[in-house]
Amino acid sequence: MKSRPWAVKLVLVIAAMALAALNVPGARAQSSTPREETWITNGAVRAVVRTTDTVYIGGWFTYVGPATGGGGQTRNHIAAIDAATGAATDWNPNANNTVYALAVSGSTVYAGGDFTSIGGQMRNNIAALDASTGAATDWNPNANSEVRVLTVSDSTVYAGGIFNSIGGQKRNYIAALDAATTGAATDWNPNADNPVFALAVSGSTVFAGGFFDSIGGQTRNCIAALDAATGAATTWNPDAAGGHYLGINALAVSGLTVYAGGGFWSIGGQTRNNIAALNAATGAATAWDPNAFGEVDALAVSGSTVYAGGDFTSIGGQTRNRIAALDAATGAATDWNPSAEGSYYYVYVYALAVSGSTVYAGGDFTSIGGDNTRCGFAQFDALPPERIKRYLLGLDSDPTGLDLNGDGKVDIADLIWYLSGKRLTK
């Protein structure tokens, strides 16, 4: 075999450049193809929360199982997926109707939805579940209508939704519940005039989004910042307006930026279609402008990437069907393009979660990332070069699938193998 040292050198230089490029913090090369082993559902996934070793999902499904068919389990509206294997664990709270919201704190999984029984107990629309057994604890705020969003901060569980009473008190659409007691509402009472669908806590501020025109004692159109001590609206007032349907469905806070998604044509004093970044101090829209064509229903921020889900068909200057990764600096869509598709006229990605180099997506899609067997739930891992880099740097100890050239070890040769186009893995 004729040796070509110049070609070897070129490949090594390219590999070194690629490795250097991959070392940029937050620059994560994500696979657009979902992990095959991770189980799917038979219906929409509305909430996804990842803990150290478990991915909790909620929605209106009644079954979870392998995408290849068979071997699944009945799981009504809520399930736990083993983060390592992708298969459901034995955990089975068995809700009798939709779970819209999940939040985890320590050994407790909080669930919100429109159920009347869960974890073996009668629980109206909100419950706390033992993370080991799936049994409902004594915590029982008893909401009179749907709970759509939950977030936990220290000893407080914040709830938003369509309810007018919760935790033993009259509370319109938003409440703070004592996590330590049986779920009693605290004195905190922003008293919105319409539903609250998004919450994010940052320090002593609770950011709220939804369909309201007033909250915390002030006129606030669909988005507000509330004092975590008093419940009063602060002066922060991005004032969402316009939209085929006007509302804020998703909020995410990262440093001094509040990302907002929903249906709107202007916010923070600027023209912004359905997604925006707002200064956390002033409420003004930053220059970031991905301009989504269609609603944004889910947001997740990780490093220099903002993941968005919804029913949009373009965002960040690119055609992107319902799921996209956006550069947090420029608002441009990255190359990541799983494209969620479905059998309905409207298809949504409702929930996103990021953990390390893994992205989880939930929705009512029946195909995503070119996998036509994948219904409801998908997991996206880093591309092999990114994982090889992390493995070689000792940041990840899992060599599964990284020996691309099949010589029994994972090293720089595998990166070269991938970059030379001999991609053994998809």
Residues interacting with Ca ion, by CB under 5 A? 403, 405, 407, 414
The minimum distance between CB 413 and Ca ion, in angstroms, equals 5
How many C-beta neighbours within 10 Å does residue 283 have? 20
Nearest CB to Ca ion, comparing residues 82 and 411:
411
Tokens matching residue 403? 């020996």
The minimum distance between CB 424 and Ca ion, in angstroms, equals 10
Look at the alpha carbons of 119, 123, 124, 127 in this order and tell me if their dihedral is positive or negative.
Answer: negative
Nearest CB to Ca ion, comparing residues 398 and 407:
407
The minimum distance between CB 399 and Ca ion, in angstroms, equals 9
The minimum distance between CB 7 and Ca ion, in angstroms, equals 19
d(CA 84, CA 97): 28
Query: At which residue do the structure tokens 């929605």 appear?
Result: 59
d(CA 127, CA 110): 6
The minimum distance between CB 392 and Ca ion, in angstroms, equals 11
d(CA 173, CA 175): 7
Nearest CB to Ca ion, comparing residues 105 and 405:
405
Tell me phi and psi for residue 413, to 5 degrees: -60, -30
Give residues with Cβ within 8 angstroms of 394, minimum separation 6.
none
Q: How far is CA 60 from the centre of its chain?
A: 17
The minimum distance between CB 403 and Ca ion, in angstroms, equals 4
Nearest CB to Ca ion, comparing residues 53 and 407:
407
Using DSSP's 3-state secondary structure scheme, residue 16 falls into: helix
Nearest CB to Ca ion, comparing residues 297 and 414:
414
Tokens matching residue 392? 């070689």
Nearest CB to Ca ion, comparing residues 218 and 405:
405
